């Protein structure tokens, strides 16, 4: 089988790597891919910017055109933006089976208001909230509730749309900045203002197979993967500015079976009930952002895709064929698909460009000492790096803030941690920075 993977980050490199390991898969076409997928076994990149016949097409048309030309058997969509733009609808309409929800399902991430309406309607455990489109009403509400309080832009805002306000002044400023369109533009014209939840955060990624057929035959299902944790702050000890993610671990020693059972009952099952009741065609992945509070897990958000960098820690723990999982999602047999997991732990710290998440240089040559990586038994997943084709030998050079992750497995957390950081010592580029505490006590975000 040939598979199309859409996206260019570390998540997509990991997805492509896992698909390429399947005996069912002969080739993985990555659009646009990155410097990691460029050299991964069985993988080939197609960059629309470098193809005259793709350059001026909409992204949905690019996906359909490549899928048809390459005769792919199915597609896997990495990021949320194309899903919100209906890439899954376009591909299914063109006869290409696709892993990733159609636009109706993708709206669960694209609109915070819609996702809260959905959660409340179907009894998903979550923070109390109200939605506002009028600034004065929003300000009156935060004054009435007081701080701490959480102010969220309704629309997709690349991680910049949420303010956890510790004081009333901060909350009022957030309301004004977001609603005046200064902070995140149109995305902030509607606000969700939410109860502040105290606890520690985790990410549960899951496979979803909900279609009118599975809804009718009772086979609609969501199957959760092992729990994982991202580390979003730049500095050790969960300090400094928010980033796209500085590293991930899977599974989590501090998450009990009881917590997972509560999650299943109070969050996962009501979500499934909602997807079925809303007659969604949702075949893909869902990511539950959870706060583990003293009253059990509460849903903070849905993402309609796999997490980045969680994927770099979760997918290597899979002891089953990822291509078979994709097929089960698409053909409605997920309910009888057995997910087996490796024992032990996976740790995946991320190396970023100096200055990230603000200003940082690009084009820095990356050197990777292969003997160090193989001694550690680690896998490097490339995120913001490309092959520099203008230079002799086509070296890997940085092209983004988050550059790569070193992902390693161990039977104990400590072993996995040691191997991942041993591998990190084999990577070098000018300005390289990484947190040394991924997965350690005190590293997780909590409040």
Binding site for ligand AMP (CB under 6 A): 127, 150, 152, 162, 164, 194-197, 201, 289, 300-301, 445
Instruction: Give least dist CB 162 to ligand GLY, A.
Output: 11
Instruction: Give least dist CB 81 to ligand GLY, A.
Output: 12
Map the footprint of ligand GLY across residues 207-236, applying CB under 6 A.
230
Inter-helix orientation angle 112-121/103-110, to 10° = 100
Instruction: Give least dist CB 242 to ligand GLY, A.
Output: 10
Q: Which residues pair with 148 in a beta bridge?
A: none
Map the footprint of ligand GLY across residues 242-281, applying CB under 6 A.
245
Residue whose CB is less far from ligand AMP, 13 or 231: 231
Stretch that binds ligand GLY, among 45-53, 66-74, 302-310, 424-432 (CB under 6 A): 302-310
> What is residue 79's DSSP assignment?
S
Nearest to 138 by CA among 107, 182, 166, 171: 171
Q: What's the 3-state SS for 7-76?
A: ECCHHHHHHHHHHHCCCCCCEEEEEECCCCCCCCCCEEECCHHHCCCCCCCCHHHHHHHHHHHCCCCEEE
The backbone torsions φ and ψ at residue 122, rounded to the nearest 5 degrees and listed phi first, read: -105, 10
Residue appearing with tokens 């048309």: 61
Identify the residue among 79, 101, 188, 307 touching ligand GLY (CB under 6 A): 307
Question: In this chain, which residue has its C-beta nearest to ligand GLY?
Answer: 307
Residue appearing with tokens 């005769």: 71
* Pair of tokens at residue 70: 């390459």
Residue whose CB is less far from ligand GLY, 132 or 225: 225
Which one of ligand GLY, ligand AMP, none interacts with residue 197, CB within 5 to 8 A by kind?
ligand AMP
Residue 199 makes contact with ligand GLY by CB under 6 A: no
Which one of ligand AMP, ligand GLY, none interacts with residue 310, CB within 5 to 8 A by kind?
ligand GLY
Residue whose CB is less far from ligand AMP, 111 or 398: 111
Residue appearing with tokens 């509400």: 141
Residue 312 makes contact with ligand GLY by CB under 6 A: no
Residue 303 makes contact with ligand GLY by CB under 6 A: yes
Is 118:108 a contact under the CB 8 Å cutoff? yes
> What is residue 364's DSSP assignment?
P
Q: What's the 3-state SS for 83-99?
A: HHCCHHHHHHHCCCCEE
Alpha helices, H only, 21-58? none
Count of residues that interact with ligand GLY, criterion CB under 6 A: 6
In the chain, count of helices (H) and strands (E)? 15, 24
Residue 437 makes contact with ligand GLY by CB under 6 A: no
CA–CA gap between residue 373 and residue 382 (Å, rounded): 14
Instruction: Give least dist CB 363 to ligand GLY, A.
Output: 26
Instruction: Give least dist CB 158 to ligand AMP, A.
Output: 11
Identify the residue among 310, 406, 420, 429 touching ligand GLY (CB under 6 A): 310
Residue whose CB is less far from ligand GLY, 25 or 246: 246
CA–CA gap between residue 447 and residue 438 (Å, rounded): 18
Is 426:373 a contact under the CB 8 Å cutoff? yes
Identify the residue among 281, 308, 321, 437 touching ligand GLY (CB under 6 A): 308
When computed from its CA atoms, the radius of gyration of the chain, rounded to whole angstroms, is 21
Residue whose CB is less far from ligand GLY, 12 or 230: 230
100: Cα within 13 Å, side-chain hemisphere? 30
Residue whose CB is less far from ligand AMP, 236 or 445: 445
The H or E element containing residue 427 is strand 427-428
Which one of ligand GLY, ligand AMP, none interacts with residue 230, CB within 5 to 8 A by kind?
ligand GLY
Which one of ligand GLY, ligand AMP, none interacts with residue 245, CB within 5 to 8 A by kind?
ligand GLY
- For ligand GLY, the binding residues (CB under 6 A) are 230, 245, 303, 307-308, 310
């Amino acid at each position: 089988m040939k598979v199309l993977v859409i996206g260019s980050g570390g998540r997509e490199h990991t997805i492509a790597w896992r698909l390429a390991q399947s005996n069912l898969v002969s080739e993985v076409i990555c659009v646009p891919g990155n410097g990691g997928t460029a050299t991964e076994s069985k993988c080939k990149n197609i960059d629309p910017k470098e193809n005259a016949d793709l350059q001026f097409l909409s992204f949905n048309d690019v996906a359909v055109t490549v899928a048809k030309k390459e005769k792919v058997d199915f597609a896997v969509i990495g990021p949320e933006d194309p899903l919100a733009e209906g890439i899954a609808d376009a591909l299914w309409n063109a006869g290409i089976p696709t892993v990733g929800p159609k636009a109706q399902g993708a709206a669960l991430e694209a609109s915070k208001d819609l996702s809260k309406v959905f959660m409340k309607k179907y009894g998903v455990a979550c923070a109390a909230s109200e939605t506002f489109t009028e600034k004065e009403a929003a300000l009156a509400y935060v004054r009435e509730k007081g701080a701490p309080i959480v102010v969220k832009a309704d629309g997709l805002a690349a991680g910049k749309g949420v303010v956890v306000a510790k004081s009333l002044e901060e909350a009022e400023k957030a309301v004004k900045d977001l609603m005046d369109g200064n902070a995140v533009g149109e995305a902030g014209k509607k606000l969700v203002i939410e109860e502040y939840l105290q606890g520690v955060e985790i990410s549960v990624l899951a496979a979803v197979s909900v279609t009118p057929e599975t809804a009718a035959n009772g086979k609609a299902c969501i199957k959760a993967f092992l729990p994982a944790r991202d580390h979003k702050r730049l500095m050790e000890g969960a300090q400094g500015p928010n980033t796209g993610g500085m590293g991930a671990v899977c599974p989590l020693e501090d998450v009990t079976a009881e917590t997972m059972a509560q999650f299943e009952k109070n969050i996962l099952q009501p979500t499934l009930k909602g997807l079925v009741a809303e007659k969604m065609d949702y075949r893909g992945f869902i990511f539950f952002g959870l706060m583990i509070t003293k009253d059990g897990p509460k849903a903070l958000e849905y993402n309609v895709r796999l997490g980045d960098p969680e994927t770099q820690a979760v997918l290597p723990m899979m002891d089953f064929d990822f291509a078979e999982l994709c097929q089960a999602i698409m053909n409605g047999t997920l309910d009888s698909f057995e997910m087996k997991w490796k024992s032990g732990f996976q740790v995946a710290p991320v190396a970023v460009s100096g200055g990230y998440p603000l200003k940082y240089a690009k084009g820095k040559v990356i050197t990777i000492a292969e003997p160090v990586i193989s001694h550690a038994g680690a896998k490097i997943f490339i995120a913001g790096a490309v092959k520099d084709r203008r230079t002799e030998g086509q070296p890997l050079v940085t092209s983004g803030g988050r550059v790569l992750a070193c992902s390693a497995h161990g039977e104990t957390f400590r072993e996995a941690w040691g191997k991942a950081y041993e591998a990190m010592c084999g990577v070098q580029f000018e300005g390289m920075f990484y947190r040394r505490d991924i997965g350690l006590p005190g590293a997780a975000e909590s409040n």
